[in-house]
Amino acid sequence: MLESTAETTPETTLGSAPESDAAPQGERSAERPPAFAPIPAVRAQQEGQVLTIEGFDFAHAFDLRQGSVSRMSRHGVELLDSPARFAIWRAPIDNDMHVKEKWIEEGYDRAVTKVYACGWEQTGESEVKIRTSFALTAVSRYPLLTGEAVWTVNGAGEIVLRADMKFDERGTLPYLPRFGLRLALPAGMEQVEYRGFGPHESYVDKRQSVRKGRFASTVDGMFESYIMPQENGSRYGTEWAVVSNEQGMGLRFAAEAPFSFNASHYAPEDLTAASHTWELKRRQETIVHLDYKMSGVGSNSCGPELAEAYRLNDKAFRFEVRLIPVFREDE
């Protein structure tokens, strides 16, 4: 399959922004390195099963029962609407019509996080690590994935997630729809900017009509409407993305390895449950998916099964991503 890899400059139109030397929010220009400044210290305190980590201008919290970040705030502005969680389900597309029955049979659509152990330590004045041993599984089912997640919070308020995962240890499961982190951002987080394949949706096997570049859109603008609601609007090969409000307050997501990015007012379960677009109820919050990988879209509604190369069938893998609070005023 042909893939466009040229670094093309997108036209300045609705849905795209021109390439420039200016760094995105949360990223300083390499040509003007900032003067050295020590990373501020952090304070960590546990009350019950909630760990609060505070720094100079931020306050984050982790739910130790769920093993994930439950609150992020900077300058008193809340950046999460609900706790983050791992996700493997996507709303089946037309071409998933055969494999989706296997997914549902194995409980992919009902998978939840089961935490085996969760602990934390302050590894320095400016760093706290939260370590979680967990599985993704449906109720009364054998675990689909097992893994260890390490969340590292530094004095700048950044959170780095590293998840080491094992999939299908029995060797009997169908490939995964996706694997990644799901976040819910508060109402008003409508502005989107990213560097990846755009300006419209793109997948590992659906990218001949897109180009690599830097694009700007809105959450509503990221949505692609299909007659029957289904997975849509993801951006393949994303290097970084920012979701913010009109004042430039929000979160930046970045990783060393490209990831699949999606921002929507509809969760996968909303799209799965609806048979017609008029049945969809738009959420006020913004649902963000940061995926290690997503399986391709294929052509199995009337053609062959999805090619092995486009399936998420990795038996052991590591996913890393950074969550960075951004404020335009700080730039």
Give the count of alpha carbons within 13 A of 312, CB side only.
25
pLDDT at 238 over 80: yes
Q: Quick check: 11 pLDDT over 50?
A: no
Contact present, 214 and 194 (Cβ < 8 Å): yes
Burial of 191 (0-12, 13-18, 19+ CB in 10 A): buried
Predicted confidence at residue 20, as pLDDT, reads 45
And the tokens for 165? 């995962």
Computed on alpha carbons and rounded to an integer, the radius of gyration of the chain in Å comes to 20
- What are the pLDDT digits (tens) for 177-220? 999 999 999 999 999 999 999 999 999 999 999 999 999 999 99
Residue 242 has pLDDT above 70, yes or no: yes
8 Å CB contact between 129 and 151: yes
pLDDT for res 303: 65
Cα–Cα distance measured from residue 220 to residue 2, given in angstroms and rounded to the nearest whole number: 29
The helix or strand, by DSSP H or E, that contains position 117, with its residue range, turns out to be strand 112-124
Q: pLDDT at position 87, please?
A: 99
Average pLDDT over residues 220-239: 97
**Structural domains of the chain in order of their starting residue, each with its CATH number:** 48-326 (2.70.98.10)
Q: What is the pTM of this model?
A: 0.89
Residue 8, Cβ density class (10 Å: 0-12 exposed, 13-18 middle, ≥19 buried):
exposed
What percent of the chain is modeled with pLDDT above 90?
Answer: 83
Q: pLDDT tens-digit profile of 294-306? A: 999 976 555 678 9
Could you give the maximum distance between any two Cα atoms of the chain, in Å?
59
Helix (H, G, I), strand (E, B) or coil at 76: coil
